[in-house]
Amino acid sequence: MGEGLKLPKFSIGVGDRFAHQAKAQLAACVLAAKAGIEVIPVWNKSNREHTIIGSEPSATRTAADAAIKALGWTKPYFLDADHINLKTVDRFLAPCDFFTLDVADLIGQPARPEDVSAFVARHPELLGIVTIPRIAEPFHTTESFISGIANKFLAAVQHAGEIYRLLVEKKGAGTFIPEISMDETDSPQTPVELLIILAMIADEKIPIQTIAPKFTGRFNKGVDYVGDLAQFTKEFNEDLAAIAFSIKTYGLPDNLKLSVHSGSDKFSIYKAIYDAVKSFDAGVHLKTAGTTWLEELIGLAESGGTGLAIAKEVYAEAYAHSEELCAPYATVIDIDPAQLPTPAVVNSWSSDQFTSALRHDQSNPAYNPSLRQLLHVGFKVAAKMGPRYLEALEANESIVAKNVTTNLFERHIKPVFLGL
């Protein structure tokens, strides 16, 4: 199903709020290549982030293309229209070649009864005892069970089909990578639900190359995974089995792989991901959206002087406007207000104190996950600073870039793709 652009086996979504770190991000992929693994960069920035910052997707394309040229990168790279829908897709059409079709909002909206009945009738292979290789227990399903799942997910997948067909109409088949995202919803999809969702996607003739389900546990922005690691590991392996089965059964693209959204800093699950992917000889896409912005702040704080003053000012403003900043991210942050130091305290900190609180080093007793999450959603404060913030980044480019590259390569690429 589908010819044209193909996403390689391993890829990493690199978010860049202010379009200044593309070279530093790409440098991490260069280090991966030197270490013997091809990890393809996918620059992603959502409509929400563009709106908050006042930027355009074309600027992300310009920054990515400049980095590719500067570093002489000859492997593939992509630009992701992150979390788009029919209302927001237009401004991403020209610069982007990877589209994350976000249909989470439609999950649970009932499909038309005749569409549900038609889906069940089309898929007798999903009825009764369903045995999937490498999943120990067969699934036992009934018509009412499949109808229930179809009623929950079919309208969302049909909407994805609408967006996909619009993209084909505007851009041409095979000129972009389609991903479907279902992660920003209340409850995780089970492996059997994922299998049935993949059957729906095949019916819509969407040649998806990655799918981002919601996994068990909390994937809070910029901090470690919170949840049952054994359950996550079981689910992740079973999802890979469901994908392998779906590729064979429904003719979905043979490079279809799992996408882990809000994947940055989930250190405790990286070994489970590496082991599962290796065991299945599967691919994986790890999306690390806002981590780069935090590494910019760490670099500024580390540089001292004006850089540290700006980092402290960002914190003070984020602290003062925490409700407004946190509201859009309420489901993916978990901040304890009692753990947030006052701006007066932070203003007295040295560079080392600020970076120790912010840098995601769980062995450091000064690390503060509540402060980190608040600053993660506080990029709007830096956006309002305008040129002053960007000039500080440029003045301290080398120290900021070092933090960005080290974070991506050492803390993300190494454990997820190299098993180190």
Task: Indicate if 251 and 221 belong to the same structural domain.
Answer: yes
pLDDT value at residue 3: 67
**Per-residue pLDDT averaged across 355-372, rounded?**
98
CA 176/CA 97 separation, integer angstroms? 4
Please tell me the total count of domains within the chain. Answer: 2
HSE, CB side, 13 Å, CA atoms: give it for residue 282.
28
Whether 403 is covered by a domain: the verdict is no
Q: pLDDT, tens digit, for every residue of 207-255?
A: 999 999 999 999 999 999 999 999 999 999 999 999 999 999 999 999 9
Whether 404 is covered by a domain: the verdict is no
From 29, 52, 51, 42, select the one nearest 378 (Cα to Cα).
Answer: 52
Task: Indicate if 264 and 299 belong to the same structural domain.
Answer: no
Q: pLDDT, tens digit, for every residue of 264-291?
A: 999 999 999 999 999 999 999 999 977 8
Task: Indicate if 267 and 320 belong to the same structural domain.
Answer: no
pLDDT value at residue 302: 98
Query: How many Cβ atoms are within 10 Å of 97's Cβ, its own excluded?
Result: 18
pLDDT value at residue 283: 98
Task: Indicate if 229 and 178 belong to the same structural domain.
Answer: yes
Asked if 38 and 10 count as a contact pair (C-beta separation under 8 A), the reply is yes
Domain span including residue 232: 10-291+409-418
Task: Indicate if 287 and 299 belong to the same structural domain.
Answer: no
Q: pLDDT, tens digit, for every residue of 37-50?
A: 999 999 999 898 89
Whether 177 is covered by a domain: the verdict is yes
Task: Indicate if 233 and 319 belong to the same structural domain.
Answer: no
Whether 152 is covered by a domain: the verdict is yes
Task: Indicate if 140 and 156 belong to the same structural domain.
Answer: yes
Task: Indicate if 322 and 286 belong to the same structural domain.
Answer: no
pLDDT value at residue 289: 74
Asked if 86 and 162 count as a contact pair (C-beta separation under 8 A), the reply is yes
Task: Indicate if 318 and 255 belong to the same structural domain.
Answer: no
HSE, CB side, 13 Å, CA atoms: give it for residue 128.
3
Whether 84 is covered by a domain: the verdict is yes
Q: pLDDT, tens digit, for every residue of 69-121?
A: 999 999 999 999 988 888 899 999 999 999 999 888 899 999 999 999 999 99
Task: Indicate if 389 and 248 belong to the same structural domain.
Answer: no
